[in-house]
Amino acid sequence: MLSHGQGCYVEDVDGKRYLDLLAGIAVNTLGHGHPALVDAVTRQTAQLVHVSNFFTTTPQVELAEALLRVAGAPAGSGVFFANSGTEAIEAAVKLSRRTGRGTVIAAEGAFHGRSTGALALTWKAAYREPFEPLIGRVVHVPFNDEDALREAVAAVGEDLAAVLLEPVQGEGGVVPSTPAYLALARELTTAAGALLILDEIQSGMGRTGRWFAYQARGVVPDAITLAKGLAGGVPIGALVTFGPTATGLLTAGQHGSTFGGNPLACAAGLAVVATIEADGLLEHAREMGEHLAHGIFALRHPMVAGVRGEGLLRAVVLAEPVAAQVMALARQAGFIVNAVAPDALRLAPPLVIEAHELDTFVAALPGLLDAAAGR
Ligand SMILES: *Cc1c(COP(=O)(O)O)cnc(C)c1O
């Protein structure tokens, strides 16, 4: 049971300290107890925590403007605020239905949330099957397979509302999309008059060393979904629509949320955006990600089959399916990591993590791998 945290460390109720290499699954962008976040939330709590959505507030408008700016969104773009990633996806599904079409193509390995709508887009059978039938007209295609995408778009034909993809699959094992695959998805959706929606809930907000992972791939989507790291741990989600056509699909009153976009969450989001910019955390995430990957490669450990991912969204790929054991041993040794697949350990530390902190984990890793492999 965890009690408190500071920087990249958390402490449990027994006083044991852990290096947090997961950041609440890519959520605690600024780590724990960051003064900018504490200050923003404290001040906003005294000023205004919540108002009805009959009103806008300064933090809400400013966060929407900041997101549109860092996304490089064109004039006529829009932001809808929700409270979670799942809700951002629900908004995206409703947006896609407003094209007048009904089928969404998603990828095998995808994770988009667990409401009955978002779950239909999620790939993992264990999450989906106990609750079927879910919303219909979802087609899953193998991720990064260009021919399969071409064939699926052709097969769906006139009913294609959207292709919805994670630029870097998170729960699927930290698997980056290839630039060519996203470019093809853009080309096919444009030609079909359908939307390209990118789920940046895990890969966005600087996690991969860019504001959004799609920005390293030269495509412009019709919409992106955000949540996780957006407000550094305060619950929030967002659907960003690009340009007047996509934005105009959902008109006022067609979607809404009581808590969505409340001033408290938006003030936290503004503190995250401002700190990423002021402290150069995009560049820092790229540098630290490289540092981590090089450190792990340099071990030349037989249990390390590779390192996947970008920036500070990484997976250590293991030569044997012992990720769960490594995760448990790591916790005993004071490191929080995640077995995202039987053979993959996910690392998604706060973007403020320093090289010497990462190095303590890299130094401990050979011992953890040996113990997990029973050597
Ligand atoms: C976590 C996640 C979601 C769901 O977000 P919640 O806030 O848990 O509802 C959706 N898509 C991706 C890519 C995620 O990583």
Q: Are residues 74 and 202 in the same domain?
A: yes
Q: 227 in ligand 1 pocket by Cβ < 6 Å?
A: yes
Q: How confident is the model at residue 375 (pLDDT cuts 50, 70, 90)?
A: confident
For tokens 């976009």, what's the residue?
Answer: 261
Q: Are residues 142 and 227 in the same domain?
A: yes
Which of 22, 112, 121, 230 has the most ligand 1 atoms within 8 A of CB, as the residue to mutate?
Answer: 112
Q: Exposed e or buried b for every residue in 136-157, given b needs 16+ CB within 10 A? A: eebebbebbebebbeebbeebe
Q: Are residues 76 and 154 in the same domain?
A: yes
Of 278, 298, 316, the last residue of a domain is: 278
The pLDDT value recorded for residue 110 is 98
Q: Does residue 85 contact residue 225 with C-beta atoms inside 8 Å? A: yes
The pLDDT value recorded for residue 261 is 96
The pLDDT value recorded for residue 92 is 98
Q: Does residue 78 contact residue 241 with C-beta atoms inside 8 Å? A: yes
- Bridging pattern class, strands 138-141 and 103-107: parallel
CATH number at residue 14: 3.90.1150.10
Assess whether pLDDT exceeds 90 at residue 339.
yes
Q: Does residue 316 contact residue 173 with C-beta atoms inside 8 Å? A: no
Q: Are residues 259 and 326 in the same domain?
A: no
The pLDDT value recorded for residue 273 is 98
Residues 259-268, mean pLDDT to the nearest whole number: 97
**For residue 226, which of 109, 66, 106, 8 has the smallest C-alpha distance?**
66
Q: Are residues 271 and 287 in the same domain?
A: no
Q: Which domain holds residue 315?
A: 2-33+280-372
Residues 50-73, mean pLDDT to the nearest whole number: 97
Q: Are residues 333 and 255 in the same domain?
A: no
Q: Are residues 55 and 140 in the same domain?
A: yes
Q: How confident is the model at residue 136 (pLDDT cuts 50, 70, 90)?
A: confident
Of 278, 301, 334, the last residue of a domain is: 278
Q: Are residues 138 and 183 in the same domain?
A: yes
In the reported structure, the alpha carbon of residue 170 is separated from the centroid of ligand 1 by a whole-number distance in angstroms of 9
Mean pLDDT, the chain, whole residue set: 97
Q: 200 in ligand 1 pocket by Cβ < 6 Å?
A: no
The residue type of 208 is T
Residues 97-118, mean pLDDT to the nearest whole number: 97
In degrees, rounded to 5, the angle at the alpha carbon of residue 285 between the alpha carbons of residues 282 and 288 is 150
Q: Is the bond leading into 59 cis (omega within 30 degrees of zero)?
A: no
Q: How confident is the model at residue 344 (pLDDT cuts 50, 70, 90)?
A: very high
Q: How confident is the model at residue 347 (pLDDT cuts 50, 70, 90)?
A: very high
Q: Are residues 357 and 249 in the same domain?
A: no
Q: Are residues 208 and 348 in the same domain?
A: no
Q: Are residues 132 and 236 in the same domain?
A: yes
Assess whether pLDDT exceeds 90 at residue 113.
yes
Q: Are residues 235 and 285 in the same domain?
A: no
Active-site residue set:
111, 199, 228
The pLDDT value recorded for residue 105 is 98
Give this prediction's pTM: 0.98
Reported as a single tens digit per residue, the pLDDT across 264-294 is 999 999 999 999 999 999 999 999 999 999 9
In the reported structure, the alpha carbon of residue 226 is separated from the centroid of ligand 1 by a whole-number distance in angstroms of 8
In the reported structure, the alpha carbon of residue 24 is separated from the centroid of ligand 1 by a whole-number distance in angstroms of 12
- Closest protein CA for atom 6 of ligand 1: 85
Number of domains in the chain: 2
Of 220, 245, 278, the last residue of a domain is: 278
User: Which element (helix H / strand E) includes 149?
Assistant: helix 146-156
The pLDDT value recorded for residue 252 is 85
Non-local (6+) Cβ contacts of 352 within 8 A are: 7, 8, 30, 31, 34, 279, 281, 284
CATH number at residue 214: 3.40.640.10
Distances (CA, A) of 56 to 63, 323, 338: 12, 46, 39
CA distance 313 to 165: 17
71 phi and psi angles, rounded to 5 deg: -80, -10
CA distance 227 to 211: 13
Reported as a single tens digit per residue, the pLDDT across 25-54 is 999 999 999 999 999 999 999 999 999 999
Q: 166 in ligand 1 pocket by Cβ < 6 Å?
A: yes
Q: 173 in ligand 1 pocket by Cβ < 6 Å?
A: no
Q: Please report, in angstroms and rounded to a whole number, the separation of the first and last CA atoms in the chain.
A: 30
